[in-house]
Amino acid sequence: MRGVSSFSTGLRHKVFTNTKRGNAYEPSRPNIEKAGQMLIQHDGLREVGAVISQDSTLDLDSTRCSMCAAVRAPAPDAWDEPLFESANFVAVTSIGALVPGWLLIVPRKHQLSMGFLSNALSSELHAFKNDVADVLGEIYGPVSAFEHGPSAAKRLAGCGVDHAHLHLVPTTIDLRREAEPFLPSGAAWMVADEGACKRAALNDLDYLYLEQPLGSGSIVAHDGIGSQIFRRVIASALNVPEQFNWREHRQLENVMSSIWTIRAYEQRRLAGCT
């Protein structure tokens, strides 16, 4: 992964270094809700210097958004602490992770879906996504990216969270093929890039966006997209179809495994062992 690394010894104090190697940190497995977190500063984003207040955003009330609360420091739970960050995005573990290594990329400022991002934020997201996926790929193998993009608040496609979040999931399941039975009538996959998400949002269409492999995009844009489609697909492929719902099956074992595995990998990387 490109960029400089840091270890945060407190939930708010982030110390960045300009070297790729540093002293190895020897954790004693502290309380998971109080532990210091490993943070990655994406290379060049400090030069981007995107001042969030100067960027366009939806006029949405973020005071009641659970995701907005989660990305504020200090985070209430270990799984809401950023494992990676850039100027305007954080990567956190996903509650309901059906496989280890399942992360969410979340904009710091309230956005309904990635389709509503400005061009500057979209460019930053693209670079950040690739950097985080590089690390996940080294640990877990092939990584796919997907988003359920609602066109308005309280749509089924938003899966109950009206704050943009892009999933990064280590999986070799053919998500495009296996999702077809879950698509609404008349909906079909089209080859696309990230710009297709913007076009769908501008046309008031919900969308499913998928990159598998990373960089090879497909989209379904439709006003009848259901909830948690990719979770349903992955749960079915793992022979646990009843566990697709993240609200009912939090999969904390996978969540905590992801946190500790990624931290340990970064420790070794900082120590020059990878």
Instruction: Label residue 242 exposed, middle or buried (CB < 10 Å: 0-12, 13-18, 19+).
Output: exposed
Q: What is the DSSP letter of 40?
A: E
Separation between Cα atoms, residue 274 and residue 272, nearest integer Å = 6
Contacts for 190 with CB less than 8 Å, ≥ 6 apart: 196, 218, 219, 220, 221
* 258, 124, 70, 78 alpha-carbon torsion, rounded to 10°: 20
CB atoms within 10 A of CB 274: 11
Q: What percent of the chain has pLDDT over 70?
A: 68
Separation between Cα atoms, residue 204 and residue 116, nearest integer Å = 11
* pLDDT score recorded for residue 191: 97
Q: What percent of the chain has pLDDT over 90?
A: 58
The domain that contains 158 carries what CATH number? 3.30.428.10
CB atoms within 10 A of CB 188: 10
* pLDDT score recorded for residue 22: 31
Domain region containing 72: 4-270
**pLDDT tens, position by position, 224-262:** 999 999 999 999 999 999 999 988 999 999 999 999 999
* pLDDT score recorded for residue 110: 83
Alpha helices (H) along the chain:
45-48, 66-71, 119-140, 175-179, 195-202, 229-237, 252-270
CB 149 within 8 A of CB 114: yes
**pLDDT tens, position by position, 173-185:** 999 999 999 999 9
Rounded to a whole number of angstroms, the CA Rg of the chain reads: 18
Q: In what order do the strands lie in the sheet with 190-192?
A: 4-7, 38-41, 84-85, 89-93, 103-107, 166-170, 143-149, 206-211, 217-222, 190-192
Q: Is the pLDDT of residue 11 over 60?
A: no
Of residues 210 and 70, the one with the higher pLDDT is: 210
Q: Is the pLDDT of residue 163 over 60?
A: yes
Tokens of 214: 């990373």
Q: What is the DSSP letter of 19?
A: S
**pLDDT tens, position by position, 113-156:** 999 999 999 999 999 999 999 999 999 999 999 999 988 766 65
**pLDDT tens, position by position, 37-79:** 333 343 332 222 222 222 333 334 555 666 676 666 566 677 7
Please name the residue that has the structure tokens 């179809």. Answer: 241
Separation between Cα atoms, residue 173 and residue 106, nearest integer Å = 24
Q: Is the pLDDT of residue 8 over 90?
A: no
* pLDDT score recorded for residue 81: 86
Angle (nearest 5°) at CA 52 between 50 and 54: 85
Q: What is the DSSP letter of 39?
A: E
Q: Domain count for the chain, please give it.
A: 1
Which helix (H) or strand (E) is 146 found in, with range?
A: strand 143-149
CB 55 within 8 A of CB 121: yes
Separation between Cα atoms, residue 207 and residue 190, nearest integer Å = 11
